[in-house]
Amino acid sequence: MLSFKVCFVLFICLHAVLPATADNQCQCMKVIDGDVWYGPGNGYLYRFIMTYMTYDEAQSNCAILGSTLAVNGPKNTDFMKILNLQLPVIVDNKYWIGLNDKQVEGTFVWEDGTPLINSEANWYPGEPNDSQGEDCVCGNYRGSLQWKDFNCSYRGLYALCERPE
């Protein structure tokens, strides 16, 4: 009985200390097929690939891991800040997210086929500007967590991959 009470008190304290997660989803790390994935608590897991890639290469590399370029994480800066604490290496680096306007200029679409809506958008000031035909999106320009459109064939960004928990 005593140990039950201790467990219960510990449970309550942990709940008070840890940031709230959506529906008690995993704020943790998981090893899948030998790779470590991080969950910031939004129901998805993330892996950061530190190789300079074009957008298409980043898509392929995420697909090899059974994932896609990040879609749900970049929509919520609070979760991205938690992920940055879990994976500090991403803080200062530029990476592709799963968002582009390849099909129709100015109409950005997520990798899951849904259109970008205004309330999700987190553009760096002055972006997107389609400078010389930029159609693919960087999710962390100048460490701001804000987005910038880049030329899809620019081999100079890392990849942030995402998969469901």
Number of residues in contact with Ca ion under rule CB under 5 A:
8
Query: Of 163, 154, 133, which is closest to residue 71 (Cα–Cα)?
Result: 163
Tell the smallest beta-carbon distance from residue 60 to Ca ion (Å).
21
Question: Of the candidates 135, 140, 145, 160, which one interacts with Ca ion according to CB under 5 A?
Answer: 135
Task: Return the SS3 of 66.
Answer: coil
Tell the smallest beta-carbon distance from residue 138 to Ca ion (Å).
9
Question: Of the candidates 46, 149, 157, 163, which one interacts with Ca ion according to CB under 5 A?
Answer: 149
Question: Of the candidates 54, 96, 134, 141, which one interacts with Ca ion according to CB under 5 A?
Answer: 134
Considering only residues 63 to 102 of the shown chain, the ones binding Ca ion according to CB under 5 A are 101
Q: Does 162 bind Ca ion (CB under 5 A)?
A: no
Where on the chain is the footprint of Ca ion (CB under 5 A)? 101, 127, 129-131, 134-135, 149
